């Protein structure tokens, strides 16, 4: 048998791992010096020496060819798994996408789209945007972008974004089929800056009660919030519902500034505590806010996280707002973004958030046991916490006091003052499939386009009172569902019918009034849904408590009986 000999590597193949390892050594040594003393530097140096030795041996002697870059990426990610659940690494490809979620805009063609039956439909062409300027309309089907097909099972949001977004000033050639036509129209669209917004709604629920829906905390959130709040004050705002449900967080300073508009005096908003004192901080209110007096209710749920929890915790601990809903997510670890030499990014946990009373926002976790951490949602379901306040367990060792002396509890997340159970009465497999295949949204878009002349004549007040989703409309929606290969279930349909009707009416309103008003807010959509929203209805029923808090009076809440 012929003896297998090591393959001779080129000088460059030998240098690559050494160069990479050397870069890692420098970076990590600097990091060690930055975060600790000489002993830590020595430990890191020993670890890097071993890593460099293994990497070089693999590169020079391993039986098959390997990608050193992929090994380095993999090893970094596996290393970080031994830390907390939120320290993370982003490759150069992922960095831009991650950052875009928090930016106030992006470069693109200015449309909102819907994918139905493997086809991309234009839901809305932003008025004055690049697509609107060349004549693209709601209901148009996108067939191709720069020769690449946008029809078929392989079409997904990633592909669509990669074709429609691009550098400002660049062009994209689109092939479109208009509703009711068979011929293909061709448009050349020049990409431009498209603003994105984080405040989804801002309107008056009644003559004195304002409602603001905040989706996330981005670059522009604070400015958007001030604009919405100022507008509501001019309409007679006396009390406010601030909706943070489903808000995953974002920029900490935007959240702090939002609190400053609602909280008076020199009050503590949040503080952080890390290793040593390098990353410790305290943030206080500093300026005269737009709405420092008047009742405030904040809505949260299990998907309200991070910056959302800073807002809710600050207003609760300062007895400024009544918190309504369910216990928030529990993300209270602070990450510092560190750009690495190749443009990739390390988001390293450097401290923890604490509410003014001293509660840690972060829910418990065990190092290296990310799977258990991610199962917290399932555990809340199993324990019944989403459905009954009696199932919420309070840790008596983590008892804290608000400024006025109310009892609140730590242990992760912000526990509401008034609990609202999750409503699952309308859930069904049929409804899930309608949403997953975008049937309800597509039906509402088609209905709005086909009845545009009639609907355009109505005021929203008249639409809200007069428009009814009829049985005929529901039958048409079922036909559309069948076309999307959704199996009809009479039992499921009956369970979900009222909810479907509400969604159809809300989406029709959104399609009509966004076009008519050229607003960025989805006010009409949320106004239609208000009557179905149990959390909002519960908030309105509890404004008496919120008003007492605003006057500095004690109130009975979920965690405070008033007898303690």
Catalytic residue set: 306, 317, 331
SS3 of residue 259 by DSSP: helix
Tell me how crowded residue 443 is: count the other CB atoms within 10 A of its CB. 25
Token couple for 297 = 């209710």
Cα gap 20→68, rounded to integer Å: 9
Cα gap 352→84, rounded to integer Å: 11
Adjacent-strand bridge partners of 112: 124
Cα gap 318→322, rounded to integer Å: 10
Cα gap 479→487, rounded to integer Å: 11
Give yes or no for a contact between 392 and 383, defined as CB atoms under 8 angstroms apart: no
Give yes or no for a contact between 499 and 431, defined as CB atoms under 8 angstroms apart: yes
SS3 of residue 107 by DSSP: strand
Give yes or no for a contact between 226 and 197, defined as CB atoms under 8 angstroms apart: no
Token couple for 358 = 């001293």
Q: How many residues does the chain have?
A: 564
* Residue reference for tokens 């050193």: 68
Cα gap 367→365, rounded to integer Å: 7
* Pairing mode, strands 407-409 and 281-284: unpaired
Query: What is each CA distance from 393 to 220, 397, 423, 541, 558, in whole angstroms?
Result: 37, 12, 21, 25, 12
Cα gap 278→436, rounded to integer Å: 46
Q: Phi, psi at residue 322, to the nearest 5°?
A: -90, 130
Q: How far apart are the first and last CA of the chain?
A: 85
Tell me how crowded residue 429 is: count the other CB atoms within 10 A of its CB. 14
C-alpha R_g of the chain: 27
Cα gap 180→114, rounded to integer Å: 18
SS3 of residue 213 by DSSP: strand
Nearest to 172 by CA among 122, 131, 132, 140: 131
């Amino acid at each position: 048998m012929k003896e297998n000999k090591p393959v001779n590597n080129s000088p460059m193949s030998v240098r690559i791992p050494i160069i990479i390892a050397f870069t890692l050594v420098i970076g990590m040594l600097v990091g060690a010096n930055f975060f600790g003393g000489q002993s830590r530097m020595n430990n890191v140096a020993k670890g890097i020496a071993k890593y460099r030795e293994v990497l070089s041996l693999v590169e020079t002697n391993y039986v098959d060819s390997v990608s050193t870059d992929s090994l380095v990426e993999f090893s970094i990610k596996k290393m970080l798994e031994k830390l907390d659940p939120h320290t993370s690494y982003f490759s150069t490809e992922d960095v831009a996408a991650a950052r875009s979620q928090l930016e106030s805009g992006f470069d693109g063609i200015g449309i909102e789209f819907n994918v139905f039956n493997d086809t991309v439909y234009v839901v809305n062409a932003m008025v004055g945007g690049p697509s609107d300027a060349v004549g693209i309309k709601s209901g148009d089907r996108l067939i191709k972008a720069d020769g690449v097909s946008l029809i078929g099972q392989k079409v997904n949001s990633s592909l669509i974004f990669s074709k429609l977004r691009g550098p400002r000033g660049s062009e994209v050639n689109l092939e479109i089929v208009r509703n009711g036509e068979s011929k293909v129209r061709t448009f050349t669209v020049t990409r431009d800056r498209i603003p994105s917004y984080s405040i989804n709604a801002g309107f008056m629920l009644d003559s004195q009660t304002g409602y603001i829906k905040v989706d996330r905390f981005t670059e522009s959130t604070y400015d958007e919030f001030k604009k919405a709040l100022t507008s509501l004050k001019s309409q007679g705002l006396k009390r406010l519902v601030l909706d943070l449900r489903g808000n995953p967080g974002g920029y900490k300073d935007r959240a702090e500034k939002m609190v400053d508009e609602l909280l008076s005096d020199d009050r503590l908003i949040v503080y952080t505590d890390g290793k040593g004192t390098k990353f410790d901080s305290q943030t206080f209110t500093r300026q005269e806010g737009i709405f420092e007096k008047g009742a405030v209710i904040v809505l949260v749920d299990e998907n309200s996280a991070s910056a959302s929890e800073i807002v809710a915790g600050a207003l609760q601990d300062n007895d400024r707002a009544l918190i309504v809903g369910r216990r928030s997510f529990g993300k209270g670890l602070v990450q510092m973004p560190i750009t690495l030499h190749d443009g990739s990014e390390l988001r390293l946990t450097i401290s923890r958030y604490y509410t003014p009373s001293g509660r840690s926002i972060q829910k418990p976790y065990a190092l290296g046991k990310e799977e258990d951490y991610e199962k917290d949602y399932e555990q809340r379901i199993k324990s019944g916490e989403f459905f009954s306040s009696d199932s919420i367990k309070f840790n008596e060792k983590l008892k804290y006091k608000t400024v006025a002396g109310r009892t609140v509890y730590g242990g992760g997340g912000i526990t509401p003052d008034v609990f609202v159970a999750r409503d699952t009465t309308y859930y069904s497999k049929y409804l899930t499939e309608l949403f997953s295949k975008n049937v309800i949204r597509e039906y509402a878009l088609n209905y709005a386009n086909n009845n545009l002349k009639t609907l355009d004549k109505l005021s929203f007040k008249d639409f809200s009172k007069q428009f009814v989703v009829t049985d005929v409309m529901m039958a048409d929606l079922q036909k559309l569902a069948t076309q999307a290969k959704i199996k009809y279930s009479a039992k499921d349909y009956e369970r979900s019918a009222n909810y479907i009707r509400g969604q159809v009416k809300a989406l029709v309103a959104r399609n009509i009034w966004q076009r008519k008003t050229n607003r960025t807010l989805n006010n009409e959509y949320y106004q239609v849904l208000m009557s179905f929203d149990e959390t909002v209805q519960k908030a309105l029923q509890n404004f008496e408590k919120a008003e007492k808090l605003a006057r500095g009076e004690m109130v009975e809440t979920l965690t405070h009986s008033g007898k303690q």
